[in-house]
Amino acid sequence: MPVKNKKLARGVSLVGAGMSKFGSFPEKSSRDLFVEAFQVMSNSVDKEFDPQRIEYVCIGNFSSDLFEGQSHTAPIMADAVGLVPKAAVRVEDACASSGVALRQGILGIASGLYDIVLVGGIEMMTKLPTSEVTDTLAAAGDVLYEIPVGFTFPGFYAAMASAYMDRYGAAPEDLMQVALKNHNNGALNEKAQFGVTIPDWMEKRKQSAEKKGKPIPEWNDEMDFLHDDRANPMIAWPLRLFDCSPITDGAAAALLVADDIAKEFTDQPLKIIGSGQASDYPLHDRSDLTSIGAAKLAAQEAYQMAGVTAKDIQLAEVHDCFTIAEVIASEDLGFFEPGKGFNQAEKGITTRDGALPINTSGGLKAKGHPVGASGIGQVVEIFKQLRGRAGERQIKGDPKLGLAHNVGATGQTCVVHIFQREE
């Protein structure tokens, strides 16, 4: 289906972005995390900023209903950050919820109704036992046709990985290189759930066990992270533990304003020059498991709106809920030809110092994946990198053009945004 070339009636800029620490916070509720994200976001606005100027709050959240027994979360979040009686809306598109919230915020400004919009995302996942989290996430599949036959999300993505490996000759070890790269990045991100490289993580785990007087019997320096089930247990073949993003609590927030007032907030706004969104069938109903149709269409819409191509993008945050997802994303977005994405981390192309850095934040893989917050979490990294404020993990080359790619479930939703720093 050809994508209509779409234009917004009014331009939108990003002038603030921030996130809570991602991790496990049993003593907190999602409103606590959202307050934290909101404060970090507010502090990221360079010039003096009165939060009461915010007119509209759009919150992405997958299922506080199931995770916390709390629905109608949008006005609760608005209240938590002092924004009652502003209009407050929750949007849900599974793990793409806050990428979609970003897009809804853009529509709100482009419509002429609002000038200043807070978009955010929240998810508090660790209040449930892990097995129930898996079942809860499965609600994002098709509960009539997929879940009753035993699928969970590791299974869905394992099916995609198997199909991909079969078609293109990739190996599980190639996928694990994505995990190694993203943990290398996450190790430099103080907000990441796993702020540690995989080798360091293994070493720490070994030391900790020894310190407690309970050394892991088979643990030795020769244990092979790539192949050994003791170091890196198999979850759903070919995906091992470190192919999977973790269960995470977290929140993120961003401030959108009409282009014409952006300089009131910062001398370094990012223009949101492209936005695309599309849907797809549930996985069981698709003709191809090695690509996500919604991602290709969303990218096409965003590129057309932005007037750029994949070759122009200088860094990207893509939805690596599993390692295979980053590989497929990098192909769907047009960065690499189909079947050529799987060894780009290994080749150093997508590493921090590579030609096209992907997931410099650590990605969902190392930074964590509080599902409803992940889309805006990606925006936080783009906001830092394109403004030269990513600290130790700042990429070279003074990047001006970045892309965020956020997927819901197995790809029934995908949303893509392109950000540009103006000179």
| Size (the chain), residues | 423
Q: Pattern 275-314, binding to a second copy, x per CB under 8 A? A: x-xxxxxx--x-------xx--x-----------------
**Is residue 244 annotated as part of the catalytic site, yes or no?**
no
Counting residues that bind a second copy (by CB under 8 A) gives: 70
Q: Residue 274 interacts with a second copy (CB under 8 A)? A: no
CA 229 to chain centre: 28
Q: Residue 407 interacts with a second copy (CB under 8 A)? A: no
By C-beta, is 55 or 312 nearer to a second copy?
Answer: 55
Angle between helices 323-332 and 172-186 (to 10 degrees): 90
Decide: 331 and 341 in contact? Cβ < 8 Å.
yes
Of the candidates 62, 66, 72, the residue with the CA atom closest to the CA atom of residue 129: 66
By C-beta, is 72 or 389 nearer to a second copy?
Answer: 72
Decide: 215 and 234 in contact? Cβ < 8 Å.
no
Q: Residue 258 interacts with a second copy (CB under 8 A)? A: no
- Beta-bridged to residue 413, according to DSSP, are 279, 408
Q: Pattern 9-38, binding to a second copy, x per CB under 8 A? A: xx------------------x-x-------
Residue 233 tokens read as 């247990």
**Is residue 284 annotated as part of the catalytic site, yes or no?**
no
By C-beta, is 24 or 71 nearer to a second copy?
Answer: 71
Dist. CA 278–CA 295, nearest whole Å: 7
Q: Residue 358 interacts with a second copy (CB under 8 A)? A: no
Q: State how far the alpha carbon of 385 is from the alpha carbons of 39, 55, 134, 233, 364, in Å.
A: 20, 27, 33, 34, 17
Q: Residue 110 interacts with a second copy (CB under 8 A)? A: yes
Question: H or E segment at 18?
Answer: strand 12-19
Choose the stretch contacting a second copy; rule: CB under 8 A; options: 1-9, 346-354, 373-381, 389-397.
1-9
Neighbour-count burial of 333, counting CB atoms closer than 10 A to its CB (0-12 exposed, 13-18 middle, 19+ buried): buried
What burial letters (b/e) apply to 297-323, b meaning 16+ CB within 10 Å?
bbbbbbbbbbebebeebbbbbbbbbbb
Choose the stretch contacting a second copy; rule: CB under 8 A; options: 69-77, 181-189, 308-316, 322-330.
69-77
Q: Residue 8 interacts with a second copy (CB under 8 A)? A: yes
Looking at the annotation, which residues are catalytic? 95, 369
Which residues lie near a second copy (CB under 8 A)? 1, 4, 6-10, 29, 31, 55, 57, 62-63, 65-66, 68-76, 78-79, 83-94, 100, 104, 106-108, 110-114, 139-144, 147, 275, 277-282, 285, 293-294, 297, 408-409, 412-413
